[in-house]
Homo-oligomer: A and B are copies of this chain.
Amino acid sequence: MKFATEYLWFDTDRPREYINITDDVARVVRQSGILEGMVLVSAMHITAGVYVNDAEPGIIRDIDEWADSIAPQGPDYHHHRTGETNGDAHLKSLLVHHQVVVPITKGDLDLGPWQQVYYAEFDGQRRKRLVVKAMGE
């Protein structure tokens, strides 16, 4: 049985940003030598998400505006009594989910033609990370 664990770091220019990490995940899998298995891609912060969707710039803007309409930035979160200002980012993380599992088949990511793995930063401009964990044979 083989395992690979790698941490990807991000420090975005903007508070909210969407970064295509498909190639990074594919590289971890290829370097692991795993031919059959699964790879977990999981944010290690509670104000970020990981999702699978399209690389088309319009849909990325739609996702951003949609997430901000469902979980709007604003002052009125109980969480802000701690001095924090990122209550919305916690809810956005729950909305899109913080992780995906990608199947590994014949040594590569078994994704559909338009599926790309995205890191969704909802409270950026500081160093944050996610874990890529592959497991198989």
| A residues adjacent to B (C-beta < 8 A) | 1, 3, 5, 36-38, 40, 42-46, 51-54, 56-59, 61-63, 66, 70-71, 77-82, 87, 90-91, 93-103, 105, 110-112, 114-115, 129, 131, 133, 135-137
Contact = CB atoms under 8 A, between A and B. Distances in A.
- Copies of this protein in the complex: 3
Nearest to A132: B103
Interface of A is mostly: mixed
Contacts of A100: 98-99
B78 A61 contact: yes
Contacts of A5: 36, 103, 105, 110
Contact of A78 (B1, B3, B59, B93): B59
Given A5-B110, A42-B103, A94 B94 contact: no
A44 B87 contact: no
A1 to B, nearest CB: 5
Contacts of A77: 58-59, 62
Contact of A63 (B61, B90, B103, B131): B90
Contacts of A36: 3, 5, 135
A58 B44 CA distance: 20
